[in-house]
Structure 1
Amino acid sequence: MGRSEHDPEPDQGGSPTFSPSAELPPLSAEDLAALRRLGERWQVSDAVRALPVDPQADELRPSAGGAPAPAPLFLPDRAGQLTATAAAERRDTPEGRAAGRVRRLLLGRPLSSASTLRERMPKVVALPVLASDLLSSVAYGPEAMLVILVLAGSGALGLSLPIAAALVLLMLAVGISYRQTVQAYPHGAGSYLVASDSLGPRAGLAAAAGLILDYVLTVAVSVTAGVAAITSALPALVPYTIPMALAVIGLLLTGNLRGIRVAGNIFAAPTYLFLVAIVGLIAVGLVQAAARGFTPTAPPATPAVEGLGLLVVMRAFASGATSMTGIEAVSNAVPVFRPVEWRNARTVLTWMVGMLIFLFTGLTLLFHLNGLVPRSNETLLSQLAHVTFPHGPWYWIIQAATALVLLLAANTAFNDLPRLLYFMARDSYVPRRFLHIGDRLALSNGLILLAVAAAVILVAFGGRTHSLIPLYAVGVFLAFTLSQTGMINHWRRHRGPGWRRRAIINGVGAALSAVVLVTAAVTKFAAGAWVVVLAVPLLIFLSLRVRRHYDRVRHALSLDTTTSPERPSGEGSIEEQTPAVVPQQVRHLFIVPVARLNQATLRTLAYVGSLGQPTLALHISPEPGEADNFRGQWATWGGHIPLETIQSPHRVIIQPVAEYVSTLRLRHADLTITVVVPDVVVEHPWQRVLHYRTEQRLRRALRRHPGIIVANVPTHLSV
């Protein structure tokens, strides 16, 4: 059946759906062919396949010990496959069990991978969750515009209306553009995927860097603005601004770690409350203005500190454009919607842009009609609420709703940044740990990184909103510009019906976004925007370095042993790097470091001796007399295994063992040397400090040497 022109075009970047399997991607066709060739060379005896246990037998049930039969640890699905139960997934240490109880208390019970679809959000929940950042920005965006205009004196405030009209045009262009992005890229990833697909990897990384900074600053700015709304109403709380903001970030992190659906249900109500409160404020304000014939109240006389010119107008336009932050949230979060994902996402985006234009226009108009000017000790929204509702509880309701939505607007970033990092990790530009999906089907590592980064920035800037906004606009509009420029190329490459009209819309949005980007970067450079200007190329550089590392690892570990043209110079085939890929090629030498002869040592020697491979015992002695005594004890035991003693005059133990083993391996590159360390395992955590951690120290000393394996044979104590 053919695709309608209203259906989404294929996503050129693949299908970046969220799945735990992303951490374990399938083998390529080349690797599968190489695996088949290597498997044909393997030779193993029948004893290897003759298991002494049944892998799926009832013996996997934990011992009852006379008590009622405990729950099984594993359930057989089919031959060769088991499913771990909750009992098998719990940690079996006192500290592990305590940590598990705390996690369940804070986050709830773990969710299975099969619950992914059930955890998605309907439109009525997705709207407030994803729109909280965009809608809440009207609480500080119009004020940021007026803060610049008032520098040219109170007479310049009249320019707020034509500047607001230009901003509404920008909102429409960008909003329609992102509607087209959602349709063209129905699997999400927004600016990063669009720019990567249409403009190249580096452009994609630039968009991603802008978005990363945007999301971190979204949390810092939103929380700071929310706390400012509280302190405007309750000035006595001003000294506690930073602790309050950090506490809110902690609550947001905990809520989002509980999962998408739970976080959505928790954070939806404040956004709806804010919408009702601000719409009511605008409606009553317009009725009051109509009663006086829409005659503007003259603002208080304010002396000019700068001349009114194009630069001031452009700065005001760029500052007011911060009201659009969060408009890209839906395109990045398409996978959180219920099916049909892209269609529901586009509907929510349309609602969001319409509400943004109404709120922004209404508030800007009322600020103008009431002659309000920015103050250092009270927000413009608070002033408007005082003027509109001089009596009754409505002022406090509006302030409470504003504070809540500003505090929770950061939740948009908590929804989007982890997904962006997921897509980047899938492309090997950030650490693979960001692919991991946590207990509650949340991208936990991305959430934690966002909370920590936002807290650091918030503290560094002293919790001042206006100090953060210059940084905010640059990253946001870098992503907007690249995304819409990429969409122009997308339509030129995929010339479907109406592609010229769509490209023109994207072109208008790209041009206006570029104006804001350049204006903010230039005019706010000294005020802090230099941080973003330097941070974006730094993030691109780091991402490319991460990708280079993963490429090298992938080439080095590839099953395809033919030399790849992309393999860095100096690297040979896989057989040159790892000489043993089939069992019959492995030549073993086992080395057992022994300090004294006791049960732990003899248990280790017995284990190694049972393997039937060449074995050497190694003893480090602090002085010749001790070495003679140890050799006498070895002879008493029977000297069943060759012994080498090394005198260490300065009583160093780990490094001589490491140097001896690595030198042997260097001289005999065909050997695989396994260092087997006796290890005493104590019952209580505090007892660990009473024992040497020889195996861990040796592992650290030898980890950089190829062909050397460090293992341990534990002896468990109950003392």
Structure 2
Amino acid sequence: MAGRSADDDDRSGTVVTPSAEFPPLDPAEVDALRRVGAQWRTGVPPALPVDPTLDRYRSRPAPGRFSRLAPIALFRPEPGDRGRRDGLVAAEPANRPDSRLGRRLGRVRRAVLGPPLTSAAVLHERMRKLVALPVLSSDLLSSVAYGPEALLTVLVLAGSGALGLALPLSAGLVLLMVAVGISYRQTIPAYPHGAGSYLVAGDNLGVGAGLTAAAGLMLDYVLTVSVSIAAGLHAITSALPGLTPFAVPLGVLVILLLLAGNLRGVRAAGNIFVLPTYAFVVAVLGLLVVGYLRAAGRGFTPVAPPVVPAAEGLGLLLVLRAFASGAVSMTGIEAVSNAVPAFRPTEWRNARTTLAWMVAMLVVLFAGLTLLIHLAGLVPRPGETLLSQLARVTFPTGPWYAVVQATTALILLLAANTAFNDFPRLLFFMARAGHAPRRFLHLGDRLAFGNGLVALSGTAIMVFVAFGGHTEGLIPLYAVGVFLAFTLSQSGMVVHWRRHRDAGWRRRALVNGVGAVLSGLVLLTAAVAKFTEGAWVVVVAVPLLVLLFHRIHRHYRNLHAALALQPPPTGGGPGARPPSVAGGPGPPAAVPEHGPGSVEGEELPQELRHLVVVPVVRLNRASMRALAYAVSLGRPTLAVHLAPEDAEADRFREQWRAWGDHVRLETIVSPYRAVIGPLAHYLAALHAAAPELVLTVVVPAVVLRRPWHRLLHSRTEQRLRRALRALPGVVVTSIPIHVPE
């Protein structure tokens, strides 16, 4: 395959699987693990009092009240099962909560989202080309419903005489579509495991460029949902004006339905969008055929448009604004490159074929509609879309107008699904590199990136409601983010070809260079011409998002340094600095604050010293159980009692002596009746006096059956845990005391 190398595969990542949430240790970490393990001294471990393999329960799940959630069974591989061994396997969750409401909600969730899928089913959830085409092209193809109108809406500000510029501007947009489409066709095989702008720009132009492209794409995906829903509802209200007051709640409902559909998984969501997309394409093609036949009957003579007075002068800035507005028809062209891992094998080949069909269909529909609107003499007007006007003129009688409007509204509403497919995958790649929260690595029980889907839905709903569901208010924000990503991606590909210099690299670099230049011109035009109309929001939001990504990455970098194994040094004395985690030359990795020599830095059991502390309020069954547990650990144990006054402290000491004074007792008089604060300060003082000690605080915790019972208790254990969380070298252990109903 031209343009690929082994290095490319390594940089691009691996196929998306549930295991991506659990990255393996690198060779340096494995070496550190061996060095730590070589110095462990635990003596002869005692025999386990129970068989951990659950071999006794071979024929049934292990008993317990949690077996209703995820039963554990012993797996015995069949002779034909390769790569599997004996072991414990969690069965499909039964989802039978204790409460009646919980059971009802569980049934509703199962009906909406479907049963959970095993991790092995991830390969079967990929899309074939006939399904991927409508799923990934719905945003791109649906944009022809509002792209030509966006272009003409700006031109008509200079009067009806300026509408003739629509044809040359449309020809320029078609050239741009073809150039960017060919550029991405080259990008996909070069990055077969994901060819999005974030990966391509980051690999070739640096981390900053990759994060900038990611920020632009994230804004684009959010706006894709908002604009698509707004345009779809506009198409509906054009035919049914009575629904106009309900546009915002209807839009929110549609977003929630799309969320539910995508939470069912990639394949289930794909089956939903196949028919509407193909129906829209057939309906628009039928509209074009009939429209051009009618135009041929009058010799392709354009109908004179209605006279529209000029509101602005015709100048270069207005023409550039019109071109940038029409460029929204290209949003969604990158969807295939972001979703390469979602295709069936061979992934890159199927993705490239799908992209070619998408661009071809876009060019035909966009150019055909723009020319037909010009021949029909139509101009934008409030209350009805241009596509609706064209359908009325083309189909003055019969049901075909309703068919065109219905399919247009449906694909516009479903066009948001492109963002639902790509936005969570972008967050996955960013989270894998540490630039987004790691929760976005998680695949839900339907093998969908549920956290990313929810994040997209919530953000899109806020934007949609904030703009009142108006398309014209959202479109000025639209082009900047996506063309920023286009420009960085194609510029990165130029660097990629120059770096690898495979056969034909100059031709490929030229193609991507043309795409980068044209995308950059549109980006500059949109940012300048539409700055005051709302594009300033994107210009400001992109650097803020990049700053946020850097802060997230810094946190994860510090976390990795704090959690990295620090093996005892082989030489240089006890204070020697451990080697860099990455190994090799360069600056050493940051040593965490609690490194070797502190309590949290100890990784060898023989180096740990313990003190068990048991806070005791009163001598009852709960405190007796906590004391018994603490003493059974075989470590030094100290009991602490807080009394509001001296008299109560004396009474407690008498009770303690009556018990037998088996454990050293320390009483603290708290005349202001505070409990958590004085206890936390006392433990901090103990730790300061002996920093090498591990303080294990054993606290009784009452387990309540009913949620409303929590209102009857002070929840001291949770409050103490929160207070001690920031204190190093302190472990809080809860001893549950179950209260019957």
C-alpha distance after superposition, 1:102-126 (max 9, x if no partner): 4322211110000011111111111
1:46 aligns with 2:52: no
- Residue identity in the other structure for 1:195: A
Query: Deviations along 1:551-601, whole A, 9 cap, x unmatched?
Result: 111111111442543545885745557242111111101111111111111
1:177-192 → structure 2 map (5 Å cutoff): 177-192=183-198
What are the within-5 Å matches in structure 2 for residues 427-466 of structure 1? 427-466=433-472
How many angstroms apart in 1 are the aligned matches of 2:190 and 2:472? 36
> How far apart, CA to CA, are the structure 1 residues paired with 2:4 and 2:366?
31
Gaps of 5+ in 2: 77-83, 568-577, 581-586
Q: How many angstroms apart in 2 are the aligned matches of 1:638 and 1:427?
A: 58
State the 1:16 CA deviation. 3.5
- Which residue in the other structure is 1:514 paired with? 520
State the alpha-carbon separation in 2 of the partners of residues 32 and 482 from structure 1. 37
AA at the equivalent of 1:514: G
Question: TM-score normalised to the size of structure 2?
Answer: 0.93
* Corresponding position: 1:679 with 2:677: no
Decide whether aligned partners of structure 1 residues 377 and 18 sit closer, same or farther in structure 2, where only a CA change above 3 A counts.
same
Distance 1:4 1:145, change over 3 A: closer
What's 1:73 paired with? 72
Give the structure 1 partner of residue 125 of structure 2.
119
Residues 117 and 594 (structure 1 numbering): CA distance in 2 closer, same or farther, change over 3 Å? Answer: same
Q: Note if contact 1:590-1:613 (Cα within 8 Å) is conserved in structure 2.
A: yes
Equivalent position to 1:55, from 45, 52, 57? 52
Contact kept in structure 1, 2:609 and 2:692, CA below 8 Å: yes
How far 1:666 moved relative to its partner? Answer: 1.9
Q: Is the 8 A contact 1:322 1:472 kept in 2?
A: yes
- 8 Å CA contact 1:558, 1:574 repeated in 2: no
SS at match of 1:176: helix
Kept in 2, the 8 Å contact 1:212–1:417? The answer is yes
The residue type equivalent to 1:38 in the other structure is: V
Offset, 1:71: 11
1:343 to 349, 353, 358: 349
Further displaced range: 276-285 or 17-26: 17-26
1:380 aligns with 2:386: yes
Distance 1:118 1:403 in 2: 31
Provide closer, same or farther for how the CA distance between residues 72 and 711 of structure 1 changes in structure 2, counting only shifts above 3 A.
closer
What's the offset of the Cα at 1:46?
2.2
User: Could you tell me how far 1:72 is from its partner in structure 2?
Assistant: 6.5
1:623 to 2:645 alignment: yes
More divergent stretch after superposition (313-322 vs 11-20): 11-20
SS at match of 1:711: strand
* In structure 2, distance between residues paired with 1:632 and 1:123: 81
Give 2:570's aligned residue. Answer: none
The verdict on how the C-alpha distance between 1:311 and 1:574 changes in structure 2, with shifts beyond 3 A counting, is farther
Answer whether contact 1:134 1:356 (CA < 8 A) is retained.
yes
Aligned ranges 1:126-137 → 2 under 5 Å = 126-137=132-143
Asked if structure 1 preserves the Cα contact closer than 8 Å seen for 2:72 and 2:90, the reply is: yes
CA–CA separation in structure 1 for the residues paired with 2:386 and 2:437: 43
**Could you tell me how far apart the structure 2 residues matched to 1:717 and 1:693 are?**
15
Which residue is 1:426 aligned to? 432
* SS at 2:415 equivalent: helix
Q: Does 1:697 align with 2:697?
A: no
Correspondences of 1:458-537 after superposition (within 5 Å) = 458-537=464-543
Distance of 1:198 and 1:263 partners within structure 2: 34
Which residue of structure 2 aligns with residue 415 of structure 1?
A: 421
> What does the per-residue CA deviation read over 1:460-516, in whole Å, with 9 as the maximum and x for residues that have no partner?
111111111111100010000001111111111121222212211111111111111
**Deviations 1:318-338, CA, capped at 9 Å, x for gaps:** 110000000000000011111
SS across alignment from 2:728: coil
In 2, the alpha carbon distance for the partners of 1:654 and 1:100 equals 39
In structure 2, C-alpha distance between the alignment counterparts of 1:133 and 1:220, rounded to whole Å: 12
Deviations 1:421-444, CA, capped at 9 Å, x for gaps: 000000000110000000000001
Q: Which blocks of at least 5 consecutive residues in structure 1 are unaligned?
A: none
- TM-score, normalising length: structure 1: 0.96
Q: Residue 585 of structure 1: which of 607, 629, 637 is its match?
A: 607
SS of structure 2 residue aligned to 1:646:
strand
CA distance in 1, matches of 2:390, 2:297: 17
What corresponds to 2:583 in structure 1? none
Distance in 2 separating the partners of 1:569 and 1:119: 43
- RMSD of aligned alpha carbons: 2.1
Q: Aligned pair in 2 of structure 1 residues 359, 575: CA closer, same or farther (>3 Å)?
A: farther
Describe the shift of the 1:313–1:26 C-alpha distance in structure 2 as closer, same or farther (beyond 3 A): same
Structure 1 position 670, deviation (Å): 0.3
1:433 partner amino acid: R
Question: Distance between the aligned counterparts of 1:432 and 1:54, measured in 2?
Answer: 35
Cα deviation, 1:185-226, whole Å, max 9, x if unaligned, reads 011141111101111110000000000001010000001110
- Structure 2 vs 1, CA of residues 98 and 622 (structure 1 numbering), >3 Å: closer, same or farther? farther
Secondary structure of 2:188's match?
helix
- Counterparts of 2:685 and 2:117, CA distance in 1: 50
Question: Which residue of structure 1 lines up, in the alignment, with residue 660 of structure 2?
Answer: 638
DSSP 3-state at the match of 1:632: helix
Q: What residue identity is the alignment partner of 2:392?
A: H
Q: Distance in 2 between matches of 1:280 and 1:348?
A: 23
**In structure 2, what residue type is equivalent to 1:183?**
P
Q: How many residues align?
A: 712
Q: CA deviation at 1:12?
A: 5.5
Superposed displacement of residue 100, structure 1: 3.9
Q: Do the aligned partners of 2:61 and 2:73 also contact (CA within 8 Å) in 1?
A: no
For 1:53, the aligned partner's letter is V
Displacement after TM superposition at 1:637 (Å): 1.2
Letter matched to residue 663 of structure 1 = A
Contact kept in structure 2, 1:56 and 1:76, CA below 8 Å:
no
Q: Secondary structure at the match of 1:369?
A: helix
Deviation at 1:171, TM superposition (A): 0.2
Q: Find the counterpart in structure 1 of residue 684 from structure 2.
A: 662
Structure 1 residues 4 and 539, CA gap change in structure 2 (3 angstroms): closer
Cα distance in 1 for partners of 2:547, 2:588 equals: 20
Q: CA deviation at 1:40?
A: 1.1
Aligned-partner Cα distance in 1 for 2:117–2:697: 40
Deviations 1:317-365 (A, max 9, x none): 1110000000000000011111111100011100000000000001100
Which residue, out of 529, 545, 548, partners 2:551?
A: 545
Q: Give the Cα–Cα distance (whole angstroms) in 1 for the partners of residues 63 and 429 of structure 2.
A: 46
1:259 has 2:257 as partner? no
Q: How far 1:25 moved relative to its partner?
A: 0.9
Amino acid in the other structure paired with 1:301: V
**3-state SS of 1:46 partner:** coil
Contact 1:9–1:183 (8 Å) recurs in 2? no
Question: Counterparts of 1:549 and 1:322 in 2: how far apart (Å)?
Answer: 36
Which residue does the alignment assign to 2:327?
321
Deviates more, 1:126-135 or 1:576-585: 576-585
1:700 to partner: Cα distance: 0.8
SS in 2 for 1:619: strand
| CA-to-aligned-CA distance 1:270-295 (integer Å, 9 cap, x gap) | 11111011111111111111111110
CA contact (8 A) 1:552 1:567 kept: no
Tell me whether 1:245 sits opposite 2:267 in the alignment. Answer: no
